[in-house]
A and B are shown apart, each in its own frame.
Chain A
Amino acid sequence: MSFSALALPSLDGIPSRYTVQSGDAFTRPFALALLDNGVITEADLARRPSSEIALCSKALTRNWREITGQLTRFDWNLRIEQDQHRALDGFYWQSSRETDPDAVWALIGTQQGPFSCTQVCVGPAIEYLESLRRGLGQTVLAALYDVLDLLPLVCTTRVAISIAEYTYWQGYDNEEDAIDEALAVYGASSKEELLANNEFVTARQIYGRMPRWVRRPKRALSRAQVERAAKPDAFAQAVVKALDELWQVLQWSGPFADLSSPDAGAELVDFSLIVRWSEDDSVGRIIDDYGHYAAEGDHIPAASVTGLRLSDHSISTWLQQMRATAMLARAAERVLDLLASMEFEQQRTLVRVFA
C-alpha cells in the first residue's frame, strides 16, 4: 500500500463544459429561409452580423418597419416563435402543428402586453352622422368594422358586446335567455332573487348609452342614400370620401394576409386597437373581465397568429400580404382619425356663428 500524499486526480482531456447547440437547430434554417425568401438582402450583410439570429432580427426588423412605418394607431409588433408549445413567459399554447420542425409562428400584438394598445372613441361622431340621417352612422360603422375584421384583432364595440355575451351570458345574445340560464345555474327562483344574490351583468350595464345596433351594425343605407345624406355636411362628406378610399384599397391592393388564426388552438388575448363608443362606456370593464377569464385557459397574448413554413416561400408571401394589409390598416386609420377628431363639433360651431 502506498502512503504518498494524495494528489487530486486530474481529468486531462475531459472537457469542463459542453454546449448543446439547440439554438442552431432553429436559427440556421430560419436564417436560410429568410435568405431564400429574399428577406435578408445584401445590405443586411454590409457589416458582418454578430450571429445568425442578429442577422435575422436585423433583416426582419427592417422589413417590418417598412411595412408598418405609416401606421399611427395600430400596435403591430411582430414576434416570431419557434415553439408552438410553450410554457414560458406566463402563457401556454399548444397548436395543431406542435411537432412540426418546419413550422414557425408569426404573432402580432402589443409591445407592452395584452390590451395596452391605443384606444379611439367613435361614438359622438357616429351619433352625429345618425343625426343627419337615421342609418348613416350605422352604415359607416358596419363598413368600417368589416375592414377592421381583416386586421390583427381589433376590439370594436361589436367585438366587445360579443365578448360580453360570451363572458357574462354563457354565449346567449339577449338578456332574457341569459337570465333563464343563470336562474338554472344559481338555482334562483326569480330574476329579482338572482340579481339580489348574484353578480349578473345586465344589458343596461353592457350597452350603457350605446345604441343596441352596435352589437351588429348593418349597412342600413344604400350607396346613393349615403351620398345624399352626406352631401350637405362637410364632415359627413369627408367620412364618406375616406371610406371610398378605404374601399379602393380593399378592392385593388390585395391579396391580404389571412389573420384569422385558424391554427391558434387557443384564445387570442390581445388587440391591436380598441375602438370604443366613449370613454365612459363598458368596453374597458368587458375587456378586463375577459382578460382574466381567458387567462385561466389556453391563451396566446397576441392579436393574430399565423403558421409559416421554413421550407417554402410562405414567409415572403406573408410579408407581402402584410404590406397590403398595412395599406388597408392605414386607410382605416384615416377613417378613424376623422371619427375621433370631433371635427363635426367645430363645424357645428361655425354654422352657429355664420348662420
Chain B
Amino acid sequence: MNDVAIHHRGNVDLELDAALLFYRSASGEVYATQHAARVVNDRPVLLPGVPMTLESLADFAELAARRTTYRGFVHERVVYFAPNLLAWWVPAGKRRVWFEADGKLGNRSGECNHPPLLFIVNKRSWSVFALRNDERPGAATKLYRAPYFNVWETGQICTGNVDTPDAINSDSIKPYEDAFFRSRFTHANTDRLIRRRGGAVRLWLDLLDGAEFPLHQLVDTARTVADVVNALTEKD
C-alpha cells in the first residue's frame, strides 16, 4: 500500500511556569524576585519567590538574547544596531523631493543635492541628523540639524500619515528612506533649520534650482552620534 504522510510544524503549547517581579526605587535601583507559578484549584497562583541571583539573571538574559539579538548580514551603512534600535548613514547625493507647502515652495518637486545624513530609529521615534563630512560617522562624529521640513529641533521626524516599516532591522533601511524622501514635506517644525538668510525656504528653493548643498551653514546640535544613541538606549 502506497501511503501519504504530511509533516509540518505543529502548534506549540506553553504552560505558565514562572514570573519575575521587579521592585524599583525612585532613584532607579531595581530588585528582582523569581517566583514559580502553578495552577491550584484551576486558578494560576504565584508561589513564594526567591531573590533573583546573577546566575538566574544570566540564564534569563541568555534566553531573551536568543530572540532579541540580531542575526543576519550587516548592511554596509549601518552605524549602530541594538534590539529595537538602528542607526545608519546616507551619503550626500542627489534625490528627488516633493513639497506641498504654503508660500513660495508650494507644490514644487525635483532632484536636488542633499547633505550626508544619519537616521536613527527605535520603537518610539525616528530621527534624522545632517553630517558635515561625507563619510561614515563614528561615535564622536558631531551631528547637525537636518534642514528638512517636518523635522523637529531634536531631530525627530514628524511621520504624519506616512507608512513606516513594522520591524527595525537591516531590511527596513530602504523602506524608511523611501518613507522619508518620497513623502511630501509640508511645513517647517522649527525656525532655525539652517544658518542663512531666507532660512529653510530659501535653502530648498536654491537646491531645487540646482545649488550645491551649503554644508558650512548647517546648525550644530552640540551632540555626537554617541550622545544621541546613548540617550535613546537609556530610554529603552
Binding site for B on A (CB under 8 A): 6, 8-12, 14-27, 30, 53, 56-57, 60-61, 64-65, 68, 71, 74-83, 88-89, 111
Interface centre among B6, B10, B39, B48 (most CB of A within 10 A): B6
Residues of A within 8 A of B11 (CB): 19-24
Determine the chain B residues whose CB is within 8 A of the CB of A75 once the complex forms.
2
Q: Which of B1-44 contact A (CB under 8 A)?
A: 1-16, 19, 37, 39-40, 43-44
Complex contact B8–A27 (CB within 8 A): yes
Q: Is the CB of A77 within 8 A of B4?
A: yes
Residues of B within 8 A of A24 (CB): 11
Distance (whole angstroms) from the CB of B6 to the closest CB of chain A: 4
On whether A68 and B45 interact (CB within 8 A), knowing A24-B11, A27-B8, A82-B8, the answer reads no
Q: Which of A19, A60, A83 contacts B13 (CB 8 A)?
A: A19
B211 on interface, CB distance cutoff 8 Å: no
- Would you give the shortest CB distance from A272 to chain B, in whole angstroms? 9
In the A-B complex, the 9 residue pairs with the smallest Cβ-Cβ separation, listed nearest first, are A82-B8, A68-B2, A20-B12, A11-B44, A8-B45, A23-B11, A16-B16, A16-B44, A61-B4
Query: With A9-B45, A11-B37, A14-B44 given, is the CB distance from A60 to B6 under 8 Å?
Result: yes
B46 to chain A, nearest CB (A): 5
Q: Which of A23, A60, A111 contacts B9 (CB 8 A)?
A: A23
Q: Is the beta-carbon distance between B2 and A81 smaller than 8 angstroms?
A: no
List 6 A–B pairs whose Cβ atoms lie within 8 Å, in order of A's numbering.
A10-B44, A16-B44, A53-B6, A77-B2, A82-B8, A111-B2
- A65 and B37 CA atoms in complex are apart in Å by 50
CB distance from A344 to the nearest CB of B (A): 31
Q: With A16-B15, A57-B4, A60-B4 known to touch, is A22 a contact of B46 (CB < 8 Å)?
A: no
Residues of A within 8 A of B40 (CB): 8
- Cα–Cα, bound, A74→B1 (Å): 10
Bound-state CA distance A17–B16 (Å) is 5
Q: For the complex, what is the distance from the CA of A21 to the CA of B12, rounded to whole Å?
A: 7
Question: A44 CA to B46 CA in the complex, in Å?
Answer: 48
Asked whether, in the complex, the Cβ of B3 is within 8 Å of the Cβ of A77, the reply is yes
Structural contact, B12 and A10, CB atoms closer than 8 A: no
Report how many residues on chain B are interfacial, defined by Cβ distance under 8 Å: 26
A19 near B9 with CB under 8 A, answer no
Q: Which residue of B lies closest to A111 (CB)?
A: B3
Question: When A23-B8, A79-B7, A82-B7 are in contact, do A17 and B13 touch as well, CB less than 8 Å?
Answer: yes
Q: Which residue on B lies nearest to A83, using beta carbons?
A: B9
Complex CA–CA separation, A281 to B44 (angstroms): 67
Interface contact B7-A80, CB-CB below 8 Å: yes
A53: chain B residues at CB < 8 Å are: 6, 8
Contact between A56 and B2, CB atoms less than 8 A apart: no
Given contacts A8-B40, A16-B16, contact A76 B2 (CB under 8 A): yes
**Is residue B47 contacting chain A, with contact meaning CB distance below 8 A?**
yes
Write the nearest CB–CB distance from B2 to chain A, whole angstroms. 4
Given contacts A26-B8, A53-B6, contact A20 B44 (CB under 8 A): no
Contact of B12 among A14, A22, A56, A65 (CB under 8 A): A22
Q: How far is the CB of A87 from chain B (nearest CB, A)?
A: 13
Identify the closest chain A residue to B11 (Cβ). A23
Q: Would you call A22 and B37 a contact (CB within 8 A)?
A: no
Report which of A11, A19, A64 forms a contact with B45, defined as CB distance below 8 A.
A11
The answer to whether B16 touches A57, judged by C-beta atoms less than 8 angstroms apart, is no
Nearest CB in chain B: distance from A143 CB, A: 26
A19 to B1, CA, bound (A): 36
Closest to B16 in A: A16
In the complex, A341 Cα to B184 Cα: how many Å? 81
> Which of A71, A74, A77 lies in contact with B5, CB distance below 8 A?
A77
CB-based contact B45/A78 at 8 Å: no
Q: How far is the CB of A350 from chain B (nearest CB, A)?
A: 37
